[in-house]
Amino acid sequence: MYAMPPHMIEELPNEVFEAISASLDLRDLNNVRLVSRSMASKVTQNHYASFLRCKRVLVARDALELTAELTANEGIGCFVEELMLVGVVYNAAGLDHQLAKGTATMVGRGSEANGLLELPKEAGTPIELEHAARESQILQAKQADYHRMHGDGEDVALLTRIFRNLAANTKRRGLKCISTDVVEYRKDSKTPQHASQRLAWRSVWHMAAETFHTLMLALAAASLPVDELNIFCNDYSGHCSLACNEVSGCDWQAKGTALALANVQSLSISISDRILDETEHDISATGDPVERLTASASVTGLLPNLDALRSQSTEDVNFNGLVALLQLCTSMKRLDLRRCRLRRQQHELDDDRDQRFFQDVARAVHLPALQALALHNFKVREKDLLSILESQNVNNLMLHNILLDPGDRWDPIFTYCTSTHHGINALHFEDLYQDNAQIFFGERPEEIANSVIPGLHKYQNIHRQQDRNMMPIIWSIPRYRKLRMDRFVKQRHDRHRDMFGPPVSHFPH
């Protein structure tokens, strides 16, 4: 690999140096800093210091150890203000299947419509198979090292060290933002799968839970103040949500947890349905669809435990953790809740469990500082939604992909939002449903009647700022002709699926 002489690095144009700095991790930025005194000054001052403020840290031994080192003694890591903690799934299932079959490539995802797999037919060359064997060994070694580290609690200890370093060595004495994500390595040990191409979903969800618990244990141990907390709630993380029952797995009574969360002003969290084991195979499966090719019928049949699974999906533990978390965020001004839907093999388990979130939150949570509320992909009762709005001081409201309980109506909610007495200054409503039918918005009734054009539903959202917010919201459920889905509607449908699930590549066995 070509190594650029120090004097050439110093002579790089500012635009080139900026582009390079933006893509470097803490290790590489620290190495640039060591080139010379002038580079040390350049990396950590003025505009270039901004590239140090937002960094990703993998939950891996080498990454955590390095970050702990670089945040000690006022090191370069102390410039970090926004930290993304990234759990890692090392999935060797595809490579192992490739080696077993002797093919040139791995099994691919194939059809998104029904989960069919794309099976490679070309035989692999010795070089291709040697590469696959080497990468599989690396992935398995990394996975084993993670299991040892996590089992011994070293990940929590290292992250606690990092947080204590940041609390002691930074001006903020805390972090502006902590967020979480998960990456999956499948093709090789160097290139992670794109979020939309991840396959080992059960492993991804399991890693999401472990990453969340590692974070919360370290926050509690370090009592690190945080302004913003984002738990898998973003548009690039796919369906990497936190299973609802995992939120209850934290010790919300711990003193350090309360101290860390007391300063949280913004909380964003994506919660999924509970992960259920419907077959014996599910208990140990990674979720990679390649496993379907080798699993025997004796372990893929449905277990005779439908009642037990239905009970698991409705247990209190699935819902009371969110209430406990919200009650600790007493300074919270912004709340963003998102629900990710999972696909079940038994449709009897696809009931609407998410109503419980709002029943419990509306009854038990009061956030005196709350100003902005965003709800995505929930089924709610009219009275619960009104109760939440009436008990908080919300002035910015977003409702996205919200389905009212059958028989409930949007009119009381719209009337509340446009009343001069309740202080809602901005609202955004998109894809709202009443009696399982989508409602359309329009300034005049005749506009609603003609609101369907080829490829797009023209009035399925409404956005208002303060100057127009007191006007009545006109809406209807029009009788429109069924249109063939064109590419624009399909793109929008795909974006919704990316945000709300279920993953196209997750087909239960």
Last residue of a domain, one of 370, 396, 425: 370
| Residues 312 and 346 occupy one common structural domain | yes
pLDDT at 485: 58
Per-residue pLDDT tens for 287-329? 888 887 877 777 778 888 888 988 888 898 998 999 999 999 9
**In this structure, is residue 457 part of a structural domain?**
no
Averaged pLDDT of the chain:
82
**In this structure, is residue 275 part of a structural domain?**
yes
| Residues 168 and 29 occupy one common structural domain | no
**In this structure, is residue 404 part of a structural domain?**
no
Per-residue pLDDT tens for 263-273? 999 999 999 88
User: In this predicted model, which residue has the larger pLDDT, 429 or 478?
Assistant: 429
Q: Which two tokens stand for residue 505?
A: 């590549």
Would you say residue 9 has pLDDT above 90? no
What domain range is 21 assigned to? 11-46
User: What is the 3-state secondary structure of 171-218?
Assistant: CCCCEEEEEEEEEEECCCCCCECCHHHCCCHHHHHHHHHHHHHHHHHH
| Residues 41 and 57 occupy one common structural domain | no
| Residues 135 and 17 occupy one common structural domain | no
pTM of the model: 0.87
Reported as a pLDDT band with limits 50, 70 and 90, residue 454 is: very low
pLDDT at 45: 54
**In this structure, is residue 82 part of a structural domain?**
yes
Reported as a pLDDT band with limits 50, 70 and 90, residue 384 is: very high
**How many other β-carbons are positioned within 10 Å of the β-carbon of residue 461?**
15
Average pLDDT (53-60) is 91
Last residue of a domain, one of 350, 370, 390: 370
**In this structure, is residue 365 part of a structural domain?**
yes
| Residues 32 and 57 occupy one common structural domain | no
- φ and ψ at 164, to 5 degrees? -65, -35
Average pLDDT (440-445) is 70
pLDDT at 358: 79
| Residues 174 and 74 occupy one common structural domain | yes
**In this structure, is residue 281 part of a structural domain?**
yes
| Residues 38 and 169 occupy one common structural domain | no
pLDDT at 178: 97
CA distances to 244, 283, 303, 312, 470 from 315, rounded to whole Å, are 10, 20, 20, 5, 41
| Residues 39 and 163 occupy one common structural domain | no
Structurally, the chain folds into a number of domains equal to: 2
| Residues 146 and 208 occupy one common structural domain | yes
| Residues 158 and 94 occupy one common structural domain | yes
Would you say residue 41 has pLDDT above 70? no
**In this structure, is residue 412 part of a structural domain?**
no
Would you say residue 87 has pLDDT above 90? yes
| Residues 26 and 168 occupy one common structural domain | no
DSSP secondary structure letter of residue 317: G
Average pLDDT (224-243) is 84
**In this structure, is residue 270 part of a structural domain?**
yes
Q: Which two tokens stand for residue 113?
A: 């419509």
| Residues 269 and 120 occupy one common structural domain | yes
